[in-house]
Structure 1
Amino acid sequence: MIEAVGLTKRYGDKTAVHNLSFQVRPGAVTGFLGPNGSGKSTTMRMILGLDNPTAGTVTIGGYPYRKLPNAARQVGALLDAKAVHGGRHARNHLLCLAQLSGIPARRVDEVLGVVGLQDVARKRSKGFSLGMGQRLGIAAALLGDPQVLLFDEPVNGLDPEGILWVRNLMKSLAAEGRTVFVSSHLMSEMALTADHLIVIGRGQLLSDMSVTDFISANSADFARVRTPHTDPALREKLTSALTEAGGHVLPEQDGALRVTGLPLPRISDLAHECDVRLWELSPHQASLEEAYMRMTQGAVDYRSTVDQKAGLQQPLPPGVQPPMPVPGQGQPGWYAPPPPQQGYAPPQPFQTPPAASYGAYGAPGAPGAAPAPGGANPYAAPAQAPAAQTPAAPSATPAPAPAPAPDAAPTKSEDAR
């Protein structure tokens, strides 16, 4: 099991992860979702001990990754499929990893068969496609037969057959009681693969629940009702009956009715009481993508703006930013977490003692270097020099060159000639 408690990571005055706490339990595929820049990759790097958290802890089976005995046999990870020496054969790459962890060589051929690369095992990885590189990265993660697996965008570059294979692989690994933690931006694939979701935005936890509960909590389910088009009076009659019963009815463009607040059996009974014939009565549930967009719309840092067409729009004055409308703001369920930087005072820059001197390349004691005045930070950008006086514009008509004097005395060179 993976457990994070109060996990925080800062890079200078930038807070990538802020007070993040969650658990990834075995026996299920846990999806890790969030917009670009939300801190997913940073979190996974801290889980694997590649980055040290500023505050908080993250453990695997109760131990930090760096204290796990023979961690490669307990944890497998795919963070960057391109992190392979291009000159090595696929089999040699896996064989090196196996020898470093004490894994028998026969396991290399086993995982090559699992990921379908047995026919290209003797080819150099620099000639691999993106999908083949993903398969090789998955093979490296499975090499030690670990109980905990982390995958960052595992289906990137795979064809439909490969995506289906990864989906079935994740489910089979979880069915064996392993802990599977998957980060992905493909909502349709997460809806088919994940059992549980952890959603973050701007480094903060937004949701930690099952896929079914997440969709129900962040979407408005409704019933779609259609009556015969030949008699509009029946449609109006049914609308009145549904409204009086406490339902909320909205017309759709194709003539159907969108009904919320009433279960389907109640809608059917009301239609029967009104003697209205129904052509359609179907439930509608939002997709994972719709629920995800509704949850994270206030935590997106990168939004597209409308391009200014030349000659059609006047640019805004300097310093004036156009308002950025947020779809769904003010509706039930809308949530925008505050930026984690608020209330956080960044550390002061390092102050160098006045006695230290720095040369042209910043090396202490370089010859010809003067000490920093007043103990100022030598790594700080130099103050901008005052702008020089702008010279007067030259005249449009150049002044004629002065004519030589008629009785000019000859020069020495002329006498010599």
Structure 2
Amino acid sequence: MIEAVGLTKRYGDKTAVYNLSFQVRPGAVTGFLGPNGSGKSTTMRMILGLDNPTAGTVTIGGHPYRRLPNAPRQVGALLDAKAVHGGRSARNHLLSLAQLSGIPARRVDEVLGVVGLQDVAKKRSKGFSLGMGQRLGIAAALLGDPQVLLFDEPVNGLDPEGILWVRNLMKALAAEGRTVFVSSHLMSEMALTADHLIVIGRGQLLADMSITDFISANSADFARVRTPDSDPQLREKLSSALTEAGGRVLPEQDGALRIMGLPLPRISDIAHDAGVRLWELSPHQASLEEAYMRMTQGAVDYRSTIDQKSGLQQPLPPGAQPPMPVPGQGQPGWYAPPPPQAGGQPPTVPQGPYGAPAGASPAGPAAGQPNPYAQAPAAPQQPAAPAPAAPPAGGAPAPAPQTAPQPAAEPKSEDAR
């Protein structure tokens, strides 16, 4: 059994835990709940002797953790699944812990099989996923076959099959008479796993009761009643009769009635006496999440605000959009393709020698440069060069046509590529 009496822990001006007293009894799974920063991890560290309390005491089986003989064989804990040397294999990590506590090596292989890591026992832990790391941490907690177990977020990173396995494991450990203390933020999982709850907020105790009592004490139970939709007068008649009997009646959005303050048998008797036929009479009880939120709403330190996105990116007025740059525009030989022709046909581009646009040099690309005409006519084009002039009298050859200079080393634009 774990027992805390007046437990207090201060870090300078901050009080993490204040005057906390509770008991964690064997034979049941006790859930440890509270908002972020409420002091859950600090409390677990004080239980395990990792932090010294400023005031108060906490004992395991009547003794402080540091005074327990061979404590790892009496208490198993999972506080941080990442607290493993990444260069060690899973088996070597557990083997080193076993040797320090006098645990036989065969137990290492047993717990590896229990947590399902026998096939990766020789792999280094630095390559483990978050869920595999959680399984290795649980194996370390089970290594000494202890009677007291503490788990901090044991299902973090596990898949649905792994979550179900952890749930069944904790229930089985508690059924064997062990003390199981589990901290978690998953309310749905705690509702299925825990038998008892200890809830703290801002370092102080808020609740210490069974999960059934906790939900009943922090939720408004009510009954749903539905009458035939074809006769609204019956609903009004029933509402009046229930109000006269001391019930509180509220309309639901779907046409049903929410009844508070009257048990279901009494509601049924009132409807029968009033001659009202019922289509539905069902109880409603809040979930653990609803009850938890109601209990801790005043102890939450970190609250979200509305994301104010308006005004961060104001659109430019029409006509003020900056012009998009056109690669190569304004350079010698820049070619702007004409608009598409009717019928969606591609524009006609003047062709020169070798299939290149008219005006391009027929000598081809320079060495090491991509061919800008490999995907013509999408490549940048040049205006057509003037046709050669007729030879003058006397048979002298006409001068060769001049083309726009194109440096071979000039990098091509994205359109040319």
Q: TM (normalized to structure 1)?
A: 0.74
Q: 2: CA distance between counterparts of 1:139 and 1:81?
A: 10
Report deviation, 1:311.
3.7
Cα distance in 2 for residues equivalent to 1:299 and 1:68: 35
Deviation of 1:4 (Å) = 0.4
Aligned equivalent of 1:279:
279
Amino acid at match of 2:231: D
Superposed, 1:12-411 pairs within 5 Å as 12-311=12-311
One-letter amino acid of the counterpart of residue 242, structure 1: L
Secondary structure of 2:100's counterpart equals helix
- For residues 64-89 of structure 1, give each alpha carbon's deviation from its aligned partner in whole angstroms, at most 9, with x where no partner exists: 00010000000000000000111111
1:8 aligns with 2:8: yes
CA distance in 2: counterparts of 1:193 and 1:269, whole angstroms: 37
- After superposition, the C-alpha distances for 1:125-168 in whole angstroms (9 at most, x for unaligned) are 11111111000000000000000000000000001110000000
Give deviations 1:347-387, integer Å, cap 9, x for gaps: xxxxxxxxxxxxxxxxxxxxxxxxxxxxxxxxxxxxxxxxx
Deviation per CA, 1:294-338: give whole Å up to 9, x if none.
0000000000112334449xxxxxxxxxxxxxxxxxxxxxxxxxx
Q: Distance in 2 between matches of 1:41 and 1:264?
A: 43
Unaligned runs of 5+ in 1: 313-417
Once residues 16 and 175 of structure 1 are traced to their aligned partners in structure 2, the CA distance between those partners, rounded to angstroms, is 33
Letter in 2 for 1:182: V
Structure 1 Cα separation of the partners of residues 220 and 187 of structure 2? 18
Q: Which amino acid aligns with 2:6?
A: G
Question: What is the CA–CA distance in structure 1 between the aligned matches of 2:309 and 2:194, rounded to whole Å?
Answer: 43
SS at match of 1:262: coil
Question: Which residue identity is paired with 1:220?
Answer: A
Q: Secondary structure at the match of 2:111?
A: helix
Distance in 1 between residues matched to 2:252 and 2:231, nearest whole Å? 17
Render the CA deviation track for 1:235-264: whole Å, top value 9, x for unaligned.
000000000000000001001100011111
Which whole-Å CA distance do the structure 2 matches of 1:232 and 1:223 have between them? 19
In structure 2, how many angstroms separate the alpha carbons of the residues matched to 1:83 and 1:124? 14
Q: In terms of mean alpha carbon deviation, does 301-310 or 174-183 score higher?
A: 301-310
Larger radius of gyration: 2
Tell me the matched-pair count.
312
Return the offset for 1:273.
1.1
Once residues 45 and 210 of structure 1 are traced to their aligned partners in structure 2, the CA distance between those partners, rounded to angstroms, is 24
SS of the equivalent of 1:138 reads helix
Report the counterpart of residue 397 of structure 1 in structure 2.
none
Name the SS of the counterpart of 2:82 in structure 1: coil
How many angstroms apart in 2 are the aligned matches of 1:310 and 1:213? 46
Q: What is the CA deviation profile of residues 16-38 of structure 1, one whole-angstrom value per residue up to 9, with x for unaligned ones?
A: 00000000000000000000000
Structure 2 gaps, min length 5: 313-417
Task: Please tell me the residue identity of whatever aligns with 2:288.
Answer: L
The CA RMSD over aligned residues, in Å, is 0.8
Residue type of the partner of 2:172? S
User: How far off is 1:290 after superposition?
Assistant: 0.4
TM-aligned CA deviation for residue 190 of structure 1? 0.3
Q: Deviations over 1:274-301 (max 9, x none)?
A: 1111110000000000000000000000
Supply the distance in 2 between the matched residues of 1:207 and 1:96 (Cα, whole angstroms). Answer: 40
Name the structure 2 match of 1:400.
Answer: none
Residue in 1 aligned with 2:413?
none
State the alpha-carbon separation in 1 of the partners of residues 25 and 190 from structure 2: 17
**2 CA distance for matches of 1:81 and 1:113?**
18
Question: Partners of 1:92 and 1:309 in 2: how far apart?
Answer: 52
- 1:144 and 1:106 map into 2 onto residues whose CA distance is 12
Aligned mates of 2:139, 2:245 — CA distance in 1: 59
Task: Tell me, in whole angstroms, the C-alpha distance in 1 between the residues paired with 2:268 and 2:62.
Answer: 54
Question: Which residue of structure 1 aligns with residue 388 of structure 2?
Answer: none
Q: What per-residue deviation string (whole Å, max 9, x for no partner) do you get for residues 187-223 of structure 1? A: 0000000000000000000000000000000001000
Q: Which amino acid aligns with 2:251?
A: P
- How many Å separate the matches in 1 of 2:106 and 2:5? 39
CA distance in 2, matches of 1:292, 1:310: 34
Normalised TM-score (structure 2): 0.74
